[in-house]
Amino acid sequence: MWDGRFSEITKSRRSSKQRGNPTTKTTTKPEPERLHYTIKELDSKTWPDFEKFFAKHNGVQGGCWCTFYHHPEGRLLKEGLERKDAIAFNRKEKKTLVTKGRSHGILVYTGGQAVGWCQYGPKEELPRIDSGRNYSNLDLPGERGRKLWRLTCFFVDRDFRKKGVAGVALKAALDSIREQGGGIVEAYPSTSKDGGTWSLWFGTVAMFEREGFKAQAKLGEKHLLMCKTLA
Ligand SMILES: CC(C)(COP(=O)(O)OP(=O)(O)OC[C@H]1O[C@@H](n2cnc3c(N)ncnc32)[C@H](O)[C@@H]1OP(=O)(O)O)[C@@H](O)C(=O)NCCC(=O)NCCS
């Protein structure tokens, strides 16, 4: 499903092997900027890149540091702390989770700089989804012996948006889940783009349709539960 925007994608998470070359589709649109992207998994080695990337955006979404979905109660900033201390607390917590292997995510690099992020993880790692009102009200069929994975956050550097980086991160996250044994993958995309960039942290419906996800249920007025099974 490549749209010809990328000259090459490489992945250096485990084997540093070259990923498949993108195919090019005939298009009448002008050729967008061609960038070279590299994919890495977030871990202790890549933490400094993630830290620099998120620090550039003040921890992202008001200092979350992508910790929100790790908590059943969905805490953004810890109560009782000064704002700057609460943001520093989230950064430290994220680092601890990464060090302990309890936080997963894909980093997309260009020119040696991390510019794209997709958080994924097994359901136990991202329990906030279970306690969300719209999700917990659903009558879901259950995992039926398969592992359940979640895709909870996308973030792209403000200087690299609208170039397909989020789509690159999504493809890489699915590759990574597949390499880790696969299972059912859940996504919760926004059904409207009207809220603009900040409202699209779950991604768009079309992003997941392009990767073969199917809609399962409405999640309130603004989101869908979409799923795909990876063997
Ligand atoms: C939403 C976001 C991830 C999109 O990344 P991107 O690399 O620019 O997106 P892509 O070029 O791959 O496009 C993906 C889709 O987003 C849409 N999109 C991107 N920017 C948009 C904008 N400003 N307004 C509306 N739609 C937008 C594209 O039209 C495309 O839609 P489609 O799937 O229906 O074709 C990026 O704008 C971002 O990081 N926003 C902030 C999100 C955030 O706060 N995340 C924090 C979670 S830790």
From first to last of the 231 residues of the chain, give the pLDDT tens digit: 222 233 334 444 443 333 444 444 444 544 445 679 999 999 999 999 999 999 999 999 999 999 999 999 888 899 999 999 999 999 999 999 999 999 999 999 999 999 999 999 999 999 999 999 999 999 888 777 899 999 999 999 999 999 999 999 999 999 999 999 999 999 999 999 999 999 999 999 999 999 999 999 999 999 999 999 998
Q: H or E element: which one contains 32?
A: none
Query: Which residues, other chains included, contact 229 with Cβ-Cβ below 8 Å and sequence gap of 6+?
Result: 146, 182, 183, 184, 185
Residues 6+ apart with CB under 8 A from 199: 190, 192, 193, 222
State the total domains in the chain. Answer: 1
Determine, yes or no, domain membership for 45: yes
- The residue segments making up the domain with residue 147 are 35-230
| Domain-located, residue 186 | yes
Residues with CB under 6 A from ligand 1: 60-61, 64, 66, 153-156, 161-167, 193, 196-198, 200-201, 204, 206-207
Residue 4 lies in a domain: no
CA of 163, closest atom in ligand 1: 11
How many whole angstroms separate alpha carbon 34 and alpha carbon 163?
A: 9
Tell me the β-bridge partners of 187. Answer: 151, 226
If you measure from the C-alpha of residue 117 to the centroid of ligand 1, how many angstroms do you get, rounded to a whole number? 12
Nearest atom in ligand 1 to the alpha carbon of residue 156 is 39
Burial of 172 (0-12, 13-18, 19+ CB in 10 A): buried
Q: Residue 46 has which token pair?
A: 């890549």
Residue 29 within a domain:
no
